[in-house]
């Protein structure tokens, strides 16, 4: 099979298309013929070496057809999406024509959306849904602030929260991106200069919950941007992996504010966080109906992977990008 491998840790140019033996599905796994896969910042971290030693083939999600399922649960030819399950980290991932995935991380889908559209949903929507409804327990009528909203994960969170009936405040560092967030349903767009808590206070905004995709670089500020009983969930590291220096809960965690973390790469598909908790078929139906805007902003060919990573790292995607194999 053709596969994209990390030839050495480094920039996008280390990604190389090569031939590898076809994988075989072991007991408890499903072999998938990949038709399209989403691009994620996690794969850039794997490629660069930021996550240490990882599998040779990156890729944490895909859409495709079942090639083989030793259990017999999924007949050959079933349309599926696969998310995580160690793909790209502890096992070869989805940047390939074939990938073997733990059965717990494979979901049959009924949608007839094109492959590229199917591949734009799984990781970001499963993560956003789990964080909003699991960690933050977001209720209709509450006010949610999405920090890092122009990212593909941020846009998914805005989409889902607005559809759920929440009032959404969205942040971006680029004023030119404000119209996009308004189109997604954000009630207000805040320009994030790193001092968001002060801006929230200046505007007199009451924030019940905050989804932080920027991460450690702004954590203290995010904690100060919610109300006295507010909830903050950190789900991303767009601002880098450096830890929060000298974090002191007594000084840095306001009384009554709840802080949590959701690391989809490590837990989705496990018994505690089964994919059955994420209504993917319902989400796809809402995409088809135009209720959720989840279609890819750009589709690359398999042999354009280096350029795709360059665009992703330069922050020029402004949404979800995918690679289509057909």
pLDDT in tens, 271-289: 999 999 999 999 999 999 9
Question: Is 31 a residue whose pLDDT tops 90?
Answer: yes
Query: Which residues are CB-contacts of 2 (< 8 A; sequence separation ≥ 6)?
Result: 17, 18, 19, 20, 96, 97, 302
Instruction: Pick 2-120+295-324's CATH classification: 2.170.8.10, 3.30.390.30, 3.20.20.60, 3.90.180.10.
Output: 3.90.180.10
Q: What is the C-alpha to C-alpha distance for residues 80 and 75, in angstroms, rounded to an integer?
A: 11
Is the distance from CB of 147 to CB of 214 less than 8 angstroms?
yes
Is the distance from CB of 85 to CB of 12 less than 8 angstroms?
no
Got the DSSP string for 215-233? -GGGHHHHHTTS-TT-EEE
Question: Is 326 a residue whose pLDDT tops 90?
Answer: no
- Is CATH 3.40.190.10 correct for 124-265? no
Q: What is the C-alpha to C-alpha distance for residues 304 and 224, in angstroms, rounded to an integer?
A: 42
H or E element in which residue 306 lies: helix 305-313
Question: What average pLDDT does the segment 181-189 reach?
Answer: 97
Q: What is the C-alpha to C-alpha distance for residues 211 and 233, in angstroms, rounded to an integer?
A: 5
Domain boundaries, the chain: 2-120+295-324, 124-265
Residue 142's nearest CA partner among 167, 169, 114, 124 is 167
The pLDDT score that the predictor gives to residue 241 is 82
The pLDDT score that the predictor gives to residue 238 is 87
H or E element in which residue 188 lies: strand 188-191
**pTM, whole model, 2 decimals?**
0.96
């Amino acid at each position: 099979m053709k596969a994209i491998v990390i030839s050495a840790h480094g920039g996008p140019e280390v990604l190389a298309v090569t031939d590898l033996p076809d994988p075989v599905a072991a007991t408890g796994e499903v072999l998938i013929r990949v038709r399209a896969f989403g691009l994620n910042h996690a794969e850039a971290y794997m490629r660069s070496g930021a996550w240490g030693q990882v599998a040779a083939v990156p890729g944490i999600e895909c859409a495709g057809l079942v090639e083989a399922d030793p259990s017999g649960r999924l007949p050959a030819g079933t349309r599926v999406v696969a998310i995580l399950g160690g793909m790209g980290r502890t096992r070869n991932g989805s940047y390939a024509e074939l990938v073997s995935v733990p059965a717990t991380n494979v979901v049959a889908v009924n949608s007839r959306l094109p492959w590229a559209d199917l591949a734009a949903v799984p990781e970001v929507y499963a993560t956003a849904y789990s964080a909003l409804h699991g960690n933050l327990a977001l209720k209709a009528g509450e006010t949610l602030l999405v920090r890092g909203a122009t990212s593909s994960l941020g846009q998914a969170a805005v989409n889902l929260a607005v559809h759920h009936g929440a009032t959404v405040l969205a942040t971006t560092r680029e004023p030119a991106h404000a119209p996009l967030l308004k189109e997604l349903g954000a009630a207000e767009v805040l320009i994030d200069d790193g001092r968001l808590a002060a801006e929230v206070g200046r505007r007199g905004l009451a924030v019940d919950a905050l989804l932080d995709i920027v991460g450690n670089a702004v954590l203290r500020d995010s904690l100060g941007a919610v109300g006295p009983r507010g909830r903050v969930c950190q789900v991303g590291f767009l601002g880098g992996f450096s830890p929060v220096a000298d974090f002191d809960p007594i000084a840095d965690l306001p009384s009554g504010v709840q802080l949590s973390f959701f690391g989809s790469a490590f837990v989705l598909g496990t018994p505690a966080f089964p994919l059955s908790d994420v209504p993917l078929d319902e989400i796809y139906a809402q995409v088809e109906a135009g209720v959720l805007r989840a279609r890819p902003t750009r589709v690359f060919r398999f042999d354009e992977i280096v350029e795709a990573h360059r665009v992703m790292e330069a922050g020029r995607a402004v949404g979800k990008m995918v690679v289509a194999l057909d």
